Each structure stands twice: as C-alpha cells, then as structure tokens.
Amino acid sequence: MDSKPTHFAKPPSLNDETTSVLEPNPFRKLVIVASIATGINFGWALQLSLLTPYVQLLGISYTMAPFIWLCGPISGLILQPVVGYYSDRCKSRFGKRRPFIAAGALFVALAVFVINYAADLGHMFGDSLQEKSRPRAIAIFIIGFWILDVSNNVLQGPCRALLADLSADDQRKTSMSNALFSFFMAVGNILGYAAGSYDGLHKIFPFTDTKACDKYCANLKSCFFISIALLACLATVALIYVKENIPSSSLATPENKGSGENSGDDSVEEEMGDYRVLDRCSVHSVILRGQCGFYFW
C-alpha cells in the first residue's frame, strides 16, 4: 500500500515572510533622539516667559491673553493621539517617525519666523505705531502662535514613539529612554528660561532691532532664532544618524498579508484592536492633560 508523502510545515522562524526580531539600539542613539526634547522645551520655555508680555505689547488685553494659550492643551489633546495613530501606519521609505519629526521641526521654524516678525508685518500692512493696539500684528501673531503649538505637538509625539521603537520592547532600554527624554526636557527648560531672562541677546543679532520692534521685541526675536538653530541641529543629527528598525511585516504587500484562510478575520480583528488602542490613548491623554492643566492653574 502506497503511503502519501507527509509534508511538514516550516517553523515560523524559517518562513521567508516572517517578521524580523528587532534588537535594542545602542545607548548613543537613544541619547541623540531624546536630545530633541531640549530643542522642543527650549521653545516652550521661551513661550511661557516671553510671549505673554509680548502679546500685551501688541495690544491684547489681559482678559483675552489666556484664550490664546488654549491652543497648547487643545492641540495636544487632539493631535498627539491622531499623529501617533497615523505614524504607526506610515509606509514611507524614510520610516514611520522620521517624516513627522522632520515636518514638525520645519513648521516650528516657520511659525517662529511668523511670530518674530508679527509686529514688522503688521506695521507693513498698515498698523500705526502710535496706537496702543495693533490689530494686524495681533492677527499674524495668533496664526503663528497656533502653528507653533500644533507643530510642537506633532514633533513631540513621534519623538517619544521613535524612542519606544528603538528600545524594541526591552524594559531596561524603555525606562532609560523615558528618563533621557525627561532629562533633556529639563535641560531645555533651564536653557530657555535662562535665555529669556537675559536682555542683551539682541546685540548678537543687530538686524532684529527695527522701527516696529523695540529692544524687548528684538530680544525675543534673538531668543527664538537661537531656539530654531538648536532644534534644527538636534533634529538634523537625529534624522541623519538614527535609522529606524522597520520589521519585514510592515513592508509586506497586501497580497502577502492576505494569504491564508483566516487572513480576513485576522485583519478585521487587528483593525478593531487598533481602534481600541487609539481610544485608550485618547482617554489617557485627556486624563493626563487635565491633571497637568489643573496643577498649573
């Protein structure tokens, strides 16, 4: 009696389409990525220390100034979970996180230029320097301020996610990356508040002192130019030096992913799980930001 040949399935580790096991990256790469937090929080510190007096200089009343600051909590509440969700599904050849980091840094620089030259642009479009309120400068400043807050939140989320990717589920590396990010946040805050307290920086950038911009305004411009330079340097080094670990499964074609008799059920279950994760992240973000907002108030 002829016996049929028995076919044994390959172990998952021998299949061609298996997901490669990600190894934790060296400590120096975690340091380089985490250092971007210095540039981010340098700008945040300048916002907190310099921009409230600046908006009052433009003519915004004390009662209206707090409404401008609503952009930070609102953009963080909405954008960070959304950016994280789409970053996880990004199929760019540059990686999942790096395109968002590059775009965030670019728009931060654009927003800083708009804020810096709000008074000059307002004067160019017809604001009178003799009047207390400068409506055109105020409108330009608010646009730039909101772009800055949105860009900072777009930049910060993928930076944290990239640190998690580089840690590759290694508990020790994950804890270390979180500690490094917090450390560089503190460094950025210290440098930002120190720069904002010094009133002689405008002498380094004499072109910042214009007809529509007095000494205080010129010093604000100088501080933010330093902020742009610092963030640009840190982000550029991280984007060039640190390469992302992209599993082979994330590069698989839809045909390969769809093979198998249970592929339809698995894909539906995976999508539902993704939405549940997004919902949990949104709820956690709401709670955390509510607690932080209550603390700062």
Kindly report the number of other CB atoms within 10 A of residue 260's CB atom.
10
pLDDT class of 60 with cuts at 50, 70, 90: confident
Q: What pLDDT, on the 0 to 100 scale, is given for residue 33?
A: 93
Judge whether 90 and 100 are in contact, CB under 8 Å. yes
The pLDDT of residue 71 is above 80: no
Residue 89's domain comprises: 23-174+181-245
Judge whether 145 and 111 are in contact, CB under 8 Å. yes
pLDDT class of 285 with cuts at 50, 70, 90: very low
Domain count, the chain: 1
The pLDDT of residue 256 is above 50: no
Q: What pLDDT, on the 0 to 100 scale, is given for residue 251?
A: 46
Of residues 249 and 295, more confidently modeled: 249
Of residues 270 and 86, more confidently modeled: 86
CB-hemisphere CA count at 13 Å for 20?
Answer: 10
- Residue 3 located in a structural domain: no
Q: What pLDDT, on the 0 to 100 scale, is given for residue 247?
A: 52
The pLDDT of residue 282 is above 50: no
Q: How far apart are the first and last CA of the chain?
A: 85
- Residue 267 located in a structural domain: no
- Residue 10 located in a structural domain: no
Q: What CATH number should be reported for the domain holding residue 130?
A: 1.20.1250.20
- Residue 157 located in a structural domain: yes
What is the rounded average pLDDT of the residues 266-270?
A: 44
- Residue 76 located in a structural domain: yes
Please state the pTM of the whole predicted model.
0.72
How many residues are recorded in the chain? 297
Question: What DSSP string runs through 87-131?
Answer: HHT---TT-SSHHHHHHHHHHHHHHHHHHHTHHHHHHHTT--SSS
Q: What are the pLDDT digits (tens) for 73-126?
A: 787 788 878 888 888 888 888 888 889 999 999 999 999 999 988 988 888 888
Q: What are the pLDDT digits (tens) for 160-185?
A: 889 988 888 888 888 898 999 999 99
Sign of CA dihedral 153, 98, 169, 13: positive
- Give the C-alpha separation, 193 to 150, whole Å: 21
Q: What share of the chain in percent tops pLDDT 70? A: 74
pLDDT class of 65 with cuts at 50, 70, 90: confident
The pLDDT of residue 255 is above 60: no
- Residue 12 located in a structural domain: no
Q: What pLDDT, on the 0 to 100 scale, is given for residue 182?
A: 93
- Residue 73 located in a structural domain: yes
Q: What pLDDT, on the 0 to 100 scale, is given for residue 297?
A: 38
The pLDDT of residue 291 is above 70: no
Q: What pLDDT, on the 0 to 100 scale, is given for residue 54?
A: 85
What is the rounded average pLDDT of the residues 230-237?
A: 94
- Residue 43 located in a structural domain: yes
- Give the C-alpha separation, 104 to 48, whole Å: 20
- The answer to which of 116-130, 199-213, 230-244 has the lowest mean pLDDT is 199-213
Adjacent-strand bridge partners of 213? 210
- Give the C-alpha separation, 37 to 158, whole Å: 11
Q: What are the pLDDT digits (tens) for 4-52?
A: 555 444 444 444 433 444 556 788 889 999 999 999 999 889 888 888 7
Backbone φ, ψ for residue 208 (5° rounding) = -75, -20
